[in-house]
């Protein structure tokens, strides 16, 4: 999906919500464990309940890999389900990969050819040739980690060089030589919303994938205030607050309500900005 | 496997060779494509031919993931095969993972519980809480990226802070607060051998996993000169130069010869250092 179509979807659904499918077998309602593939069953119900309010789904690969072959099977079925029922959804593999060139090329093949994702999250530590193999696919996206939402972000990402440029700023600046805003997005944690203003000076045009609203404590209105641009430029992720809104038989209904609530707030923010 | 046993194996086999199982369906001998699982068949033959000279195997996850479910199946069979036939082999998942705490915990479960690897490679960008979930397993190891062998290493890893400390040096220094040399190793590319002397000043006791000898152009004797410590402290990886030593029916035999040649050089280096 290209940038134009992504913005069209955002205007149509009046939402910039990404639902993180961090589906944890230990957290889903217990009565689902009797089904043949509880993870897929749970995902299906969550997707059906939330798709009307959602621009993107973001399966977190760790949660599938940890179940071995069965987990990869659940992921494959989830991806097919979304692709068939909701073809206009933007599909992100939250994989945080990145390796030497020939290996990154293999990962690109995995996510863009074997699984037909639109985008994959990539760690920047290994530099240009670990990222560029993902950029050879038209209308596919790299979502590069810039400033993450976790506490450990302070260990290295704020390191400052002799010109007082921080590591995450350097990642934002240098990676623009590898691809423009039609193929690259950046991860910027909602818990670091105060940094968004400065980040928008470095990457005014790019979409930002913003985790950390909800369970991790970030504020949606602050993210929008500092991060929204004239093509929205934001995909804000929520995982746990939607997936586990209820652990009872009404889990899907409650997930839908939680997504609708976020979407309603997003609609106001888009409207205030004059984008819808 | 703990550090003591690892060094015992090194002395017993007179080798510090790690064979990277970067098994590429497009590079293995064509006649294998008729078997039901060519990747696993190839791995089996390579393992049997090289195990006598090898301390560690390092499947590169990208090469398995790119084949979807079938690839994960090949990986699982390969891991079981090594575990059953060669229980004293050190088994590394070259996965370069790293994510927020609850997600890293999932990845740890994948590699240490679902697949029974001894070690997993981790990218440091997201800091402490992305790494520590892997450290809760006795005798299991994190192998943290410090200075990688690729060209892109120069994009960020050599960034210098106000105290003239480089990013890769900071990673080496700070991560020692998270774990000692019994649970942590570092990736240091052989193509940056001139940096090994300085790296040994920061991490004198740690094992280093050194890729980049062979196809990527690094020199084994230089790596040993600057990187070897009194418990060897090195696992030197070779992938393509061993796996694809021949594309004919003698591929396994030639792989064994290539591994034996490296082992023989390693034996001399261990002997010169007085370790065997």
Domain that holds residue A131: 3-272
Residue-wise pLDDT tens digits, A33-76:
999 999 999 999 999 999 999 999 999 999 999 888 899 999 99
* H/E run at residue A120: strand A119-122
Helices (H) and strands (E) in chain B, counts: 12, 8
Residue-wise pLDDT tens digits, A140-179:
999 999 999 899 999 999 999 999 999 999 999 999 999 9
- pLDDT tens by residue, chain B, 276 residues: 999 999 999 999 999 999 999 999 999 999 999 999 999 999 999 999 999 999 999 999 999 998 888 999 999 999 999 999 999 999 999 999 999 888 999 999 999 998 899 999 999 999 999 999 999 999 999 999 999 989 999 999 999 999 999 999 999 999 999 999 999 999 999 887 789 999 999 999 999 999 988 767 778 999 999 999 999 999 999 999 999 999 999 999 999 999 999 999 999 999 999 999
**What b/e string do you get for A132-171 counting C-beta neighbours within 10 Å, with b at 16 or more?**
bbbbebeebbbbbbbbbbbebbebbbebebeeebbbbbbb
What Å distances lie between residue B254 and A79, A83, B87, B137, CA to CA? Answer: 42, 45, 24, 37
Own/partner pairs for A80-88, CB < 8 Å, 24+ apart? A81/A40, A81/A43, A81/A44, A81/A47, A82/A47, A82/A57, A83/A116, A85/A47, A85/A48, A85/A51, A86/A47, A86/A51, A88/A1, A88/A5, A88/A9
Nearest CA-CA partner of B240 in B13, B80, B26 = B26
What Å distances lie between residue B32 and B5, B24, B35, B60, B193, CA to CA? Answer: 36, 12, 6, 20, 37
Contacts of A151 in chain B (CB under 8 A): 127-129
What is the CATH classification number for the domain harbouring B233? 3.20.20.70
* B220 contact partners, CB below 8 Å, separation of at least 6: B190, B213, B236, B262, B265, B266, B269
The pairing of strands B56-59 and A234-238 is unpaired
Say if residue A192's pLDDT is above 80. Answer: no
Query: Residue for token digits 């976020």?
Result: A262
Residue-wise pLDDT tens digits, A203-236:
999 999 999 887 677 789 999 999 999 999 999 9
The answer to whether B103 contacts A60, with C-beta atoms less than 8 Å apart, is: yes
Contacts of A115 in chain B (CB under 8 A): 68
The answer to whether B62 contacts A106, with C-beta atoms less than 8 Å apart, is: yes
**How high is the pLDDT of residue A217?**
72
**How high is the pLDDT of residue A215?**
67
pTM of the complete model: 0.96
Query: Residue for token digits 């999250």?
Result: A121
Q: Which chain B residue lies closest to A111 (C-alpha atoms)?
A: B66
Structural tokens at position B160: 């210098």
Query: Residue for token digits 């002397």?
Result: B197
Residue-wise pLDDT tens digits, A262-275:
999 999 999 999 99
Q: Where are the alpha helices (DSSP H) in chain B?
A: 3-13, 38-50, 61-65, 68-85, 101-108, 128-131, 153-156, 167-175, 196-202, 220-227, 240-243, 251-272
The CB density around residue B94, as the number of other CB atoms within 10 Å, is 27
How far B242 CA lies from chain A's nearest CA (Å)? Answer: 17
**Which ipTM was obtained for this model?**
0.95
How far A125 CA lies from chain B's nearest CA (Å)? Answer: 6
Give CA angle at A61 (A55, A63), nearest 5°. 105
Active site residues of A: 96
Q: How many residues does chain A have?
A: 276
B159 phi and psi angles, rounded to 5 deg: -50, 135
How far B5 CA lies from chain A's nearest CA (Å)? Answer: 28
Rounded to the nearest integer, the mean pLDDT of chain A is 95
**How high is the pLDDT of residue B215?**
67
The answer to whether B106 contacts A24, with C-beta atoms less than 8 Å apart, is: yes
The answer to whether A126 contacts B145, with C-beta atoms less than 8 Å apart, is: yes
Chain B contact probe: residue of A72, A126, A175 with most B CBs at under 10 A: A126
* B217 contact partners, CB below 8 Å, separation of at least 6: B191
Average pLDDT over residues A241-261: 96
Domain total of chain B: 1
How far apart CA B183 and CA B175 sit, in angstroms, is: 11
Chain B contact probe: residue of A102, A125, A176 with most B CBs at under 10 A: A125
For residue B96, indicate whether it is catalytic. yes
**How high is the pLDDT of residue B194?**
81
How far B162 CA lies from chain A's nearest CA (Å)? Answer: 5
**How high is the pLDDT of residue A73?**
93
């Amino acid at each position: 999906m290209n940038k134009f179509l992504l913005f069209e979807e955002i205007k149509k659904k009046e939402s910039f919500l990404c639902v993180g499918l961090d589906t944890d077998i230990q957290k889903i309602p217990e009565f689902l464990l009797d089904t043949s593939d509880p993870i897929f069953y749970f995902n299906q119900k969550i997707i059906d309940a939330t798709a009307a309010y959602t621009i993107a789904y973001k399966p977190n690969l760790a949660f599938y890999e940890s179940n071995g072959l069965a987990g990869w099977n659940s992921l494959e079925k989830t991806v097919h389900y979304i692709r068939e029922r909701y073809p206009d959804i933007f599909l992100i593999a939250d994989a945080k990969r990145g390796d030497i060139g020939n290996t990154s090329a293999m990962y690109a093949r995995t996510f863009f050819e074997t699984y037909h994702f639109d985008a994959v999250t990539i760690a920047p530590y290994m530099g240009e040739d670990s990222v560029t193999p993902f950029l050879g696919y038209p209308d596919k996206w790299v979502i590069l980690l810039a400033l993450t939402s976790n506490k450990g972000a302070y260990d290295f990402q704020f390191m400052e060089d002799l010109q007082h440029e921080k590591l995450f700023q350097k990642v934002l600046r240098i990676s623009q030589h590898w691809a423009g805003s039609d193929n690259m997005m950046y991860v910027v944690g909602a818990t670091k919303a105060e940094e968004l203003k400065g980040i928008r000076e470095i990457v005014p045009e790019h979409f930002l994938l913003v985790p950390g609203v909800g369970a991790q404590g970030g504020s949606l209105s602050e993210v929008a205030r500092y991060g929204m641009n004239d093509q929205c430029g934001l995909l804000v992720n929520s995982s746990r607050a939607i997936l586990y809104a209820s652990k009872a038989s009404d889990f899907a209904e409650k997930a839908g309500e939680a997504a609708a609530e976020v979407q309603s707030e997003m609609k106001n923010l888009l409207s205030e900005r004059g984008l819808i």
